[in-house]
Structures are given as C-alpha cells and as structure tokens.
Chain A
C-alpha cells in the first residue's frame, strides 16, 4: 500500500510541484489584493506613473493568478483521487510560487514598471527591503523542499510520465 502511494507520488512528482506552485501564485496575488489594496489601502489601484508595460504585466498576472488558484486546487484534488498527493513536494511548490511572485512584484513590477509602490508618503526603502527579504526567504524555503524531494526520487530511478 505504502509502496503504491510512493510509486504514484514519483510518477506525479511534477504535477505535485505544479499544483503547489500555481496555488502559491494565486494565493499571494489574492493576499496582495485583499491586504494591501483593500484593507490597508497602501497599494493604489492605478498609480499615474505606471508604464504601459506595467499595465500589461498587472493585467496578465491578475488573470493568470485567478486561473492558477482554481487550477492548482483542482490539480490537488486530482492528485488525491489518483492517490499521488505528496505534501512535502506540494508545499515546496507553494513556497516557491509565493516567494517568486512576491520577488517579481517587489522588484520588476514595483520598481522597474512602477505599477505602484508598497506605500505612499513614507520613506519607501525599509518597505522595499522587508518586502523583498521576505520574498527571498520564502523562495529559498521552497527551493530546499523541492531539492529535498528531488533527491528522494533519485535512487529509485523512476521515470516520470507527466
């Protein structure tokens, strides 16, 4: 029985990673919207200094994150019904997804594309530093979990079908 699940986990290893990653992207985008836009009102809906590419990037990410949230959860359900859910790997994907999106948001979208700043009428540096440090830590946790689960698979010499 345990062997059966382990085998399934290895077969659907990539899907475990993707499911966590996609759900992580959706989760952090949702968190950003609720906490920073709606509750704290730190972020602005539209900052007049936003570049055209910033608008495109925001529109794409918003649409994709909706899709990723629902898609990631359905993939999770799919892994469960296939008895192939591997939570360590799934969490690895989730942390990596959350971290990488926050890093992209905090560097490219906030700074390069000037979509909006974290907060207005304050010294922005400590905010940027905190934001991106947290992002980096989450990304590293994700990477550790992913490489850890990767290493477990190696000795078995399993070939992934996905």
Chain B
C-alpha cells in the first residue's frame, strides 16, 4: 500500500473554513439577524400597525404592480433577444451582445437621470408624450421604464447559453411536420429551456421588486401615489419611524427569502450552475 508521502494537515483547511464562515457571518448573517431582533424589539403590534397603514399598503401594491408589468415585458424581450443572438448572423451582433449587459454597468442614479432627460417634461420625447396624454416621469410609466432598465439583462443572460445548447434540429423537425415556426418554438424549444428561463425570470423579479435609486428619481416619491415599498422604507427611516422602516424592510426581506428559495431550487433543477454566460 502506498502511503501518502506528506500527510495532509487539517489545520489550514479548518482555518480557511473558519475565516470564510466568520466573514459571511459578519457581512451577511448577523446584520439580517439584527434587523429581525430590532423589529421584534419595536413590538410586533407596533410594526404590524405601521405596515398596514394605507400608505404602506399602497406602496406594497405599487411595488407588485410595477414588477407585474416589468417582468413579463423583460421576459418576452429576453426570449426574443436570446433567439436573435443565438440563431441570427448579422453585422453588429457582438455589439448587441455587449449592449444587453450595459444596465449592469450603469449606476441607478444615472439611469434615473437618463430617463428624465428623455422622458421628462423638458426631455426629448417627454413633451410630445405629455401632449398626447402619456405622462411618464413622476408617474407609473416612468417607474416601469426604470425597473425594465435595471432588470433587462437577466433573462437574456440565462436563456442564451441553454438556447445555444439545445440547438435547432428538433424544432426544424417539427417544422417539416407542418408546425408553424412560433408553434415549433413554443412546443419544442421552450420546454427544454424552461429551467434557464425560470432562473432568469426569478432574478428579474428580485431586481424589479427591490429597485430603489432609479425609481426614487423618476417617481417623484409622492407618498400614497408613486411611493414603492423600497421608497417607503427609506422615507420611514429618514423620519425616524423605526417600526415602519424595519417592518417594511422585513416585508421586502420576506419577499427576497421566497426568491432565494426559488433560486436554490431552480439551481438544483437545472443541475450545475452555468459555466459561462457568453
């Protein structure tokens, strides 16, 4: 029997494990625990009261409404964009591929400014749109636009690699049997890319529910009108209403937890995480 020439010591491995867990505890786990602790400290009844005020409920409703519009839009766009990137050859394809990632590199404050410059009252399209009865900035369409901007790349990035892997042969076979192109895509390809698509939609939803900076700029933050739940949390925090701030934060954290559980299950569903997205 061959003996290991240098018995591996367990000490470095244990030290590394300890260091990693300590870092995660200090940066991730303990702060979240502290929020729960503080919320309980403020009293469950007080917290419940402050997150069931009409303003708080309207903020929750608006957050869900904006996500309910932005996520389907970006899902359809993401599918279409992935199809274009994977299956079409045209000049500028690599440029399109790079542009899709732009939202990852743009600060939320810059996104807000950018949308105001185009869709604001004195913006490029804003005046024309307002004349035609479509106010964008300081109302729902602007908030949806900001949310669409920040969450745009996720579906494209998750669907592109799986779509490339699946290929086109089966779909072509279905088409020779007389299925329409759209029917073939929906019935043959869509089921085999469903895990990647679902993962992308989950990431989009998380980002859409949680967007703060861009929406803060374009919404005008009118309490009870254009205030989403993230804006509500900041507003309550700035006015020293701890119960409201922690309560709102906890509602958002609960939504995030659901998303997190979804992500974990989906990652298991599609096997190993994708190696490279490009």
A binds B: no
